[in-house]
């Protein structure tokens, strides 16, 4: 395994990391003991970064059990900020919630520190200085080693870096965001901003939320593609791209999954790609793709199919700027629209 430096933290991480959402018994593997074996197999293979969140069901508990006796060799990352209950204060990025959320995660993970503590999403109701100040205190107490953000637009990456420098606060060292052959929009501005400020990047969804497994083909429907949460599996634009990628993968002598994985880590702005294995069978298939490196010719062919900086439809989970969601933010008052 060729390890990479996580931004400018000095922490060495594997180019493929283990995303832990699928270890939650409510949404992924219903057998915690099986999940623990999957985690151990990933660690034995050389993967040393595990990423979870306080909203991934009981994922933190499962990860904590799996790391008993192995904690010191693992770079452990988790996230906070999304609602964890019905109380309106059990969410967000206020100092009040951060101090509670970190203690909850430490207890579930059965550890005394978190290597990378990430804001799941910046909270527009909280002053960013409030958030950075609280996170700075966690670093000073040793409960957190480094901090990061996720789903952050480029303009906010710049803003938070400037605020940290101006006020002498800890700065975000990483950014977590979606990236795949089907969703390359972050190449326009987010990845360049991360590179300019020396941020490590953890990207998720390298298999295009299942589209780049090749299991969904043109003219074929299945129960998943009809389900509300899997509407993207019936998106004809994405399916058309998959139909062009399958012969390219065949020509390269690769499964489509391995082509998709290798594409993400070929970008110089990407530090590590999160793999979401639910079972040992899934993990074994993904591990076989760890040594794959794409040639310039294959990358050029991918660029022809999906031009750089292009999203083949926006993901439901992706960040959407407020003016895109709210017409009032992109329209002048009626009385001010005339140029006369």
8 Å CB contact between 233 and 210: yes
Q: What is the pLDDT of residues 138-196, one digit of tens each?
A: 999 999 999 999 999 999 999 999 999 999 999 999 999 999 999 999 999 999 999 99
Q: What is the pLDDT of residues 272-290, one digit of tens each?
A: 999 999 999 999 999 999 9
Strand-pairing partners, residue 119, are 80, 149
Least confident of 36-50, 91-105, 251-265, 325-339: 325-339
Residue 227 is predicted with a pLDDT of 43
Q: What is the mean pLDDT of residues 13-23?
A: 97
Whether 225 has a pLDDT exceeding 70, the answer reads no
8 Å CB contact between 17 and 26: no
Whether 323 has a pLDDT exceeding 90, the answer reads no
Give CA–CA dist 48/42, Å, rounded: 8
Q: Point out the residues that are catalytic.
A: 56
**What is the enclosing helix (H) or strand (E) of 256?**
helix 256-265
- So where are the chain's domains? 4-213+256-294
Q: What is the mean pLDDT of residues 12-18?
A: 98
Residue 226 is predicted with a pLDDT of 46
Q: What is the mean pLDDT of residues 294-303?
A: 97
Q: What is the mean pLDDT of residues 119-145?
A: 96
Residue 220 is predicted with a pLDDT of 66
CATH architecture of the domain 4-213+256-294 equals Alpha-Beta Barrel (3.20)
Q: What is the mean pLDDT of residues 252-268?
A: 97
Count of positions (residues) in the chain:
340
8 Å CB contact between 49 and 272: yes
Whether 338 has a pLDDT exceeding 90, the answer reads no
Whole-Å CA distances, 285 to 76, 90, 174: 23, 38, 28
Helix count and strand count (H, E) for the chain: 12, 10
8 Å CB contact between 204 and 248: no
Q: Give the pLDDT band (50/70/90) at residue 268.
A: very high
Rg (CA), the chain: 20
Residue 329 is predicted with a pLDDT of 75
Please write down the long-range contacts of 165-168, taking CB distance under 8 Å and 24 or more positions apart: 167/129, 167/132
Q: Give the pLDDT band (50/70/90) at residue 319.
A: low
Share of the chain above pLDDT 90, in %: 82
Whether 99 has a pLDDT exceeding 50, the answer reads yes
Q: What is the mean pLDDT of residues 319-335?
A: 75
Between residues 338 and 12, the one the model is more confident about: 12
Q: Give the pLDDT band (50/70/90) at residue 215.
A: confident
Average of per-residue pLDDT values in the chain? 92
């Amino acid at each position: 395994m060729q390890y990479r430096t996580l931004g400018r933290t000095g922490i060495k991480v594997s180019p493929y990391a283990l995303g832990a959402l699928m270890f939650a018994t409510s949404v992924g593997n219903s057998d915690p003991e099986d999940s623990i074996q999957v985690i151990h197999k990933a660690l034995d293979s050389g993967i040393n970064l595990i990423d979870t969140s306080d909203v991934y069901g009981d994922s933190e508990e499962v990860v904590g059990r799996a790391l008993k006796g192995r904690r010191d060799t693992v770079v452990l990352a988790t996230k906070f900020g999304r609602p964890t209950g019905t109380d309106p204060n059990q969410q967000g990025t206020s100092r009040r919630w951060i101090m509670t959320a970190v203690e909850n995660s430490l207890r579930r993970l059965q550890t005394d520190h978190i290597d990378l503590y990430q804001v799941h999403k910046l909270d527009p109701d909280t002053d960013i200085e409030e958030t950075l100040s609280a996170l700075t205190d966690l670093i000073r107490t040793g409960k957190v080693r480094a901090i990061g953000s996720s789903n952050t637009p480029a303009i906010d990456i710049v803003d938070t870096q400037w605020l940290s420098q101006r006020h002498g606060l800890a700065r975000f060292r990483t950014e977590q965001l979606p990236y795949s052959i089907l969703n390359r929009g972050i190449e326009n501005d987010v990845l360049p901003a991360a590179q300019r400020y020396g941020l490590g990047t953890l990207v998720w969804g390298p298999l295009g939320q299942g589209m780049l497994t090749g299991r969904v083909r043109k003219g074929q429907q299945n129960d998943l593609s009809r389900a509300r949460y899997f509407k993207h599996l019936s998106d004809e634009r994405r399916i058309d791209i998959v139909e062009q990628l399958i012969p390219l993968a065949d020509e390269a002598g690769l499964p489509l999954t391995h082509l998709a994985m290798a594409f993400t880590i070929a970008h110089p702005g990407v530090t590590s790609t999160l793999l979401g294995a639910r079972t040992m069978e899934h993990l074994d298939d993904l591990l076989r793709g760890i040594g794959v490196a794409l040639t310039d010719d294959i990358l050029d062919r991918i660029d022809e199919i999906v031009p750089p900086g292009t999203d083949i439809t926006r993901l439901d989970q992706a960040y959407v700027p407020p003016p895109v969601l709210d017409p009032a933010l992109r329209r002048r008052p009626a009385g001010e629209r005339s140029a006369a």
